[in-house]
Chain A
Amino acid sequence: MTLNADIPASPYADLTPPLTAVQALAESNRCLFCYDAACVRACPTGIDIPSFIRSIATGNLKGAATTILSDNIMGGTCARVCPTETLCEQACVRNTAEERPVAIGRLQRHATDHLFARKGPHPFARAASTGKRVAVVGAGPAGLSCAHRLATLGHEVTVYEAKPKSGGLNEYGLAPYKMADDFAQREVAFILEIGGITIEHGRRLGADLSLETLRAEFDAVFLGVGLGGNNLLNIPGEERDGVENATAFIERVRQATPDAPVAVGRSVVVIGGGNTAIDAAIQAKRLGAEDVTLVYRRGRGQMGATAWEQELAQTNGVVLKTFAAPVAIDAQGITLERTRLEDGKLVSTGERYSLPAAMILKAVGQTLAREALDGLTIAGGKIVIDDDHRASLDTVYAGGDCVASGEDLTVQSVQDGKLAALAIHRHLTA
Chain B
Amino acid sequence: MADLRSTIAGIRSPNPFWLASAPPTDKLTNVVRAFQAGWGGVVWKTLGEDPPVVNVSSRYGAHLDNERKLIGLNNIELISDRPLEVNLQEIIQVKRDWPDRAMVVSLMARIEEEAWAGLARRIAATGAVDGLELNLGCPHGMCERGMGSAIGQVPEMVEQVTRWVKNATNLPVIVKLTPNITNILWSAEAAKRGGADAVSLINTVNSIVAVDLDAMAPTPVVDGKGSHGGYCGPAVKPIALNMVAEIARNPDTAGLPVSGIGGVTNWRDAAEFLALGATNVQVCTAAMTFGFKIVEDMISGLSNWMDDKGYANLDQLSGRAVRNVVNWNDLNMNFSTKAVIDPALCIDCGRCHIVCEDTSHQAIRIDQGEGRRIFTVVNEECVGCNLCSHVCPVPDCITMQPEENGLPPMTWPNDPRNPMRAAAAE
Q: Could you tell me which A residues sit within 8 Å of B by CB distance?
A: 21-22, 25, 33, 35, 51, 54-55, 58-60, 62-63, 66-67
Contact = CB atoms under 8 A, between A and B. Distances in A.
The 7 tightest CB contacts between A and B, nearest first, are: A60-B301, A63-B300, A58-B266, A62-B304, A55-B297, A33-B290, A54-B297
Interface string B283-296: 00000001101101
A59 B302 CA distance: 10
Contacts, number: 37
A63 B304 contact: yes
B85 to A, nearest CB: 33
B186 interface: no
Contact of B394 (A22, A51, A60, A66): A22
Given A58-B266, A58-B297, A60-B304, 14 more contacts: A22-B394, A22-B395, A33-B294, A35-B291, A51-B297, A54-B297, A55-B297, A58-B301, A59-B301, A60-B297, A62-B304, A63-B297, A66-B300, A67-B300
A62 B297 CA distance: 11
Contact of B395 (A21, A54, A60): A21
A51 B296 contact: yes
Contacts of B304: 60, 62-63
Interface in B264-306: 266-268, 290-291, 293-294, 296-297, 300-301, 304-305
A58 B267 CA distance: 8
A324 to B, nearest CB: 47
Contacts of A62: 300, 304
A216 B3 CA distance: 45
12 contacts: A22-B395, A25-B395, A51-B296, A51-B297, A55-B297, A55-B300, A59-B268, A60-B267, A60-B297, A63-B301, A63-B304, A67-B300
Contact of B294 (A54, A59, A63, A67): A54
Nearest to A121: B307
Most buried by B among A22, A55, A58: A58
A66 B303 CA distance: 13
Contacts of A25: 395
Contacts of B290: 33
Nearest to B397: A22
Interface residues of B, number: 15
A67 B297 CA distance: 10
A54 B300 CA distance: 12
A67 B266 CA distance: 16
Nearest to A64: B297
Contacts of A33: 290-291, 294
Contacts of B301: 55, 58-60, 63
Contacts of A21: 395
A25 B395 CA distance: 10
Interface string B111-137: 000000000000000000000000000
Nearest to A59: B268
Given A59-B301, A63-B304, A51 B293 contact: yes
B197 to A, nearest CB: 32
Contacts of B266: 58
Nearest to B305: A60
Contacts of B395: 21-22, 25
Contacts of B291: 33, 35
Contacts of A60: 267, 297, 300-301, 304-305
A163 to B, nearest CB: 37
A236 B265 CA distance: 68
Contacts of A63: 297, 300-301, 304
Contacts of A35: 291
A231 B296 CA distance: 48
A208 B375 CA distance: 70
Nearest to B265: A58
A55 B293 CA distance: 12
A97 to B, nearest CB: 11
Contacts of B293: 51
A67 B300 CA distance: 10
Contacts of A59: 268, 301
A54 B293 CA distance: 11
Contacts of A22: 394-395
Most buried by A among B267, B268, B301, B394: B301
A59 B267 CA distance: 9
Contacts of A51: 293, 296-297
A26 to B, nearest CB: 10
Contacts of B300: 55, 60, 62-63, 66-67
A161 B413 CA distance: 77
A101 B290 CA distance: 20
Contacts of A58: 266-268, 297, 301
A379 B293 CA distance: 43
Nearest to B298: A58
Nearest to A118: B308
B75 to A, nearest CB: 22
B43 to A, nearest CB: 24
Interface in B242-267: 266-267
A386 B395 CA distance: 52
B62 to A, nearest CB: 16
A35 B33 CA distance: 14
